[in-house]
């Protein structure tokens, strides 16, 4: 087990700059998720840490070792691939044993490690089978067991659940979380699925266009996005960003006046508020603003409203029994401690409260 540290990693593919000087530290035994849209460089970063790609600039440390120049086999890592990459010509047992055989482990250790990894992944009764005889979910388990069997210092996972169907993904997600909490292996996990990231991570590194935009605990990333990209990317539906006029230290939305904690950069400021943090009322309220309901979407656990506030559109969720029709006007109060203030020019959050 070891920490991972990357410093100023830069990588270009032809003319495309995939990574623009990324630095990141993963603590020992920590589970960190690299989250971002496709093309943001998250997989490239993972592959550079694995040694499957070479960065033009920057260094990679695993534990105290500078592994920048080392080939993958010398880095004491294990990797789980998106398409599993289970060896089709070997039985499940030989797949899991592959890394141990390369390490020239003793027969006793080999058997013990394979059986332990297989038991952890609940595939101990499939050991004699070939991958062609397994389902997608079972192959996924073999891939994880194969990675765990070598007792790596660092476990790297590249969208390991994205090829599974929705139900199986949910099941495997919970299982992975239990498993990695048990094995306490330092893990770096790549995904574009924000729910997966939220559910698994100790910390999330949100990436966009080759930069790490925000690196924090899941709830912090969710509630205090560093900029409009993070707020928009995480959460479904995404965070609302309302342009609001500034008067002195106050932001004014109709009868609602909110104190801005830091000096506003200009005459307008962006107010970030999550759809579930807007409380809706059918009757006029003091300290509120009105918006017209355009669309009502019943989603089961709640109703999703699309609203018009002046020229701007926003989303809000209300309880399923809330009696509302399209065309109605509602009064809204945001939860005052869940607000996020951002610079409308740069999209960056204003300095911390």
Partner 1 sequence: MNLRVLYMLLAGVLVVWVLLPIFLIATLAFSDRSSVFAWPKGLLPQQFSLETIAFFFGVEGVWKAIRNSLTVAAMTLVFSVLLGAPAGYALARYRFAGADAYRLLILMTRAFPLAILAIPLAVQFIQLGIYDTAFGVALVHTALALPFAVLVTSSLFLGIPKELEEAAWTLGCDRIQAFLRVVLPLALPGLAATAIFAFVISWNEVFAATLLTLRERTLPAFLLTSLNDSPLPFRFAGGFFLIVPALIFIFIIRRYLFTLWGIANR
Q: Which is nearer to partner 1, 156 or 206 (CB)?
A: 156
Q: In what order do the strands lie in the sheet with 57-62?
A: 16-26, 4-13, 57-62, 65-66
Examine residue 131 and tell whether it contacts partner 1 (CB under 8 A). Answer: no
Residue 137, H or E segment: helix 136-149
Closest separation between CB of residue 157 and partner 1, Å? 12
Q: Which residues contact 340 (CB under 8 A, 6 or more apart)?
A: 223, 224, 225, 231, 239, 271, 272, 273, 349
What are the structure tokens assigned to 324, written together?
Answer: 């509302």
Q: Which is nearer to partner 1, 34 or 230 (CB)?
A: 34
What are the structure tokens assigned to 73, written together?
Answer: 């086999």
Examine residue 309 and tell whether it contacts partner 1 (CB under 8 A). Answer: no
Phi, psi angle pair for 201, to nearest 5°: -80, 145
Q: Which of 61, 98, 211, 281 binds partner 1 (CB under 8 A)?
A: 98
Quick one: DSSP state of residue 346?
A: T
Give me the DSSP letters along 47-73.
HHHHTSS--SEEEEEETTEE-TTS-GG
Closest of 235, 243, 269 to residue 351, by C-alpha:
269
Collapsing DSSP states into helix, strand and coil, what is residue 148? helix
Q: Which of 61, 87, 211, 309 binds partner 1 (CB under 8 A)?
A: 87
Owner of token pair 């960190």: 32
Examine residue 146 and tell whether it contacts partner 1 (CB under 8 A). Answer: yes
Closest separation between CB of residue 348 and partner 1, Å? 37
Examine residue 252 and tell whether it contacts partner 1 (CB under 8 A). Answer: no
Examine residue 160 and tell whether it contacts partner 1 (CB under 8 A). Answer: no
What are the structure tokens assigned to 150, written together?
Answer: 């070598």
Q: Which residues contact 125 (CB under 8 A, 6 or more apart)?
A: none
Examine residue 110 and tell whether it contacts partner 1 (CB under 8 A). Answer: no
x-or-dash string of contact with partner 1, 26-55, rule CB under 8 A: ------------------------xxx---
Closest separation between CB of residue 166 and partner 1, Å? 23
Q: Which is nearer to partner 1, 102 or 295 (CB)?
A: 102
Examine residue 89 and tell whether it contacts partner 1 (CB under 8 A). Answer: yes
Q: Which is nearer to partner 1, 185 or 208 (CB)?
A: 185
Among the listed ranges 79-87, 274-282, 314-322, 341-349, the one in contact with partner 1 (CB under 8 A) is 79-87
Q: Which of 29, 68, 83, 285 binds partner 1 (CB under 8 A)?
A: 83
Examine residue 102 and tell whether it contacts partner 1 (CB under 8 A). Answer: yes
Size of the site for partner 1 (CB under 8 A): 24
Q: Which is nearer to partner 1, 89 or 325 (CB)?
A: 89
What are the structure tokens assigned to 167, written together?
Answer: 């139900």
Examine residue 109 and tell whether it contacts partner 1 (CB under 8 A). Answer: no
Examine residue 130 and tell whether it contacts partner 1 (CB under 8 A). Answer: no
Q: Which residues contact 268 (CB under 8 A, 6 or more apart)?
A: 243, 244, 245, 246, 344
- Rule CB under 8 A: which residues touch partner 1? 50-52, 71-73, 75, 77-79, 81-83, 85, 87-89, 98-99, 102-103, 146, 150, 156
């Amino acid at each position: 087990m070891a920490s991972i540290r990357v410093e100023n990693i830069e990588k270009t593919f032809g003319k495309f700059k995939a990574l623009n000087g990324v630095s990141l530290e993963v603590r020992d035994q920590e589970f960190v998720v690299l989250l971002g849209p496709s093309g943001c460089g998250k997989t490239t970063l993972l592959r550079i840490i694995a040694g499957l790609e070479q960065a033009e600039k920057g260094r990679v440390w695993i534990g105290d070792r500078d592994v920048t120049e080392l080939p993958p086999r010398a880095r004491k890592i294990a990797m789980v691939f998106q398409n599993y990459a289970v060896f089709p010509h070997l039985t499940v047992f030989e797949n899991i044993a592959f890394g141990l055989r390369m390490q020239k482990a003793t027969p006793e250790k080999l058997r013990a490690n394979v059986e332990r990894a297989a038991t952890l992944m609940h595939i101990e009764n499939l050991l004699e089978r070939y991958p062609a005889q397994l389902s997608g979910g079972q192959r996924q388990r073999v891939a994880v067991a194969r990675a765990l069997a070598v007792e790596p210092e660092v476990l790297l996972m590249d969208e390991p659940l994205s090829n599974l169907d929705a139900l199986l993904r949910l099941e495997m997600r919970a299982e992975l979380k239990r498993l990695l909490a048990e094995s306490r292996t330092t893990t770096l996990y790549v995904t574009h699925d924000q729910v997966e990231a939220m559910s698994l991570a100790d910390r999330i590194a949100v990436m966009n266009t080759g930069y790490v935009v925000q690196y924090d605990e899941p709830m912090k990333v969710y509630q205090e996005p560093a900029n409009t990209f993070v707020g928009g990317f995480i959460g479904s539906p995404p965070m609302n960003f309302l342009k609001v006029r500034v008067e002195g230290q106050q932001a004014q939305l109709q009868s609602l006046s909110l104190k801005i904690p830091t000096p506003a950069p200009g005459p307008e400021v962006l107010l970030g508020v999550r759809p579930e943090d807007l409380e809706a009322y059918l009757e006029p309220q003091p300290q509120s603003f009105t918006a017209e309901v355009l669309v009502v979407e019943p989603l089961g656990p709640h109703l999703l409203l699309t609203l018009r506030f002046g020229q701007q559109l926003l989303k809000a969720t209300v309880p399923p029994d809330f009696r509302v029709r399209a065309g109605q006007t509602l009064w809204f109060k945001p939860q005052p401690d869940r607000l996020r203030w951002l610079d409308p020019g740069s999209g960056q959050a204003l300095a911390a409260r």
